[in-house]
Every structure is written in structure tokens, then in C-alpha cells.
Amino acid sequence: MDFASIANSFVQHYYTTFDGGLTARQSLAALYRPESMLTWEGAQVQGQSNVIAALTKPELATVKHRVNTNDAQPAPGGGVLVAVTGSLAVDNAFDKPLPFAETFTLQPIPGQPGGFFIHNQVFRLIFAA
């Protein structure tokens, strides 16, 4: 398994879609399943509809990410661990980028060779102490 290529393709697709606005972001639902869990700034939700509801809140209407790093490792069960760092701008406030770190565990979709879903996702903004 070429876990680095899987991670690169995933990261490009995920953030391009996320940054496309709330309507485009709805299509990310295909990446989640009932067992998917998101921890967003400490708040946990589980399941496809709950995750998409968290990612499409009105206050996140306009978000643009800039990915700085994308690291990948193989994970148990044929999965891929993906760690991403970068910055994001909310409401086109590009003069005030917010540093973030996000980690994903991708797992194979049963019965779909080569397909993956997001099993775990943890997002945190990074604030200077």
C-alpha cells in the first residue's frame, strides 16, 4: 500500500472541497460513516450527519486552508494515519491566519477496494502561549 500517495490525494481532495463553501462541503459526507468520530476544538460528535453538521456551521461559511505539512503512516487494519499542519483564514481574513493541526485515521471501506473513509478526525487551532 502506498500510504503516502493515499494521504496526499486525500488531503488535496478534503481541503479543496472544504474550502469550496458550505454547499461543496456537504459532499464530504461521502467520506464519513456511522462510526466516524470528529473532535473539533474539544467537542466530539459521531456519525456522518453529526460530523457534516459540525463542519457546515454558518460561522464556517468561508474558510480557506493553506496546508504546510502532510505526514502519513500505515495504521492497523489497512488504514492510514494522516497528520496535517497549516493555517486557515475565516471570512477571507487572510491578514489574520490561524495556525491549525488536524489528524485523520482513514480506514478501508468494506467491499470497496481502494476506497477509504474517515474513521477518526481531530482538529485544533494552535494559539501562542
> Would you list the domain boundaries of the chain?
3-124
The structural architecture, per CATH, of the domain 3-124 is Roll (3.10)
Tens of pLDDT along 27-40? 999 999 999 999 99
pLDDT value for 17: 97
Dihedral sign for Cα atoms in the order 39, 45, 47, 53? negative
Nearest Cα neighbor of 54 from 35, 40, 33 is: 40
pLDDT value for 83: 98
- Positions in the chain short of pLDDT 50: none
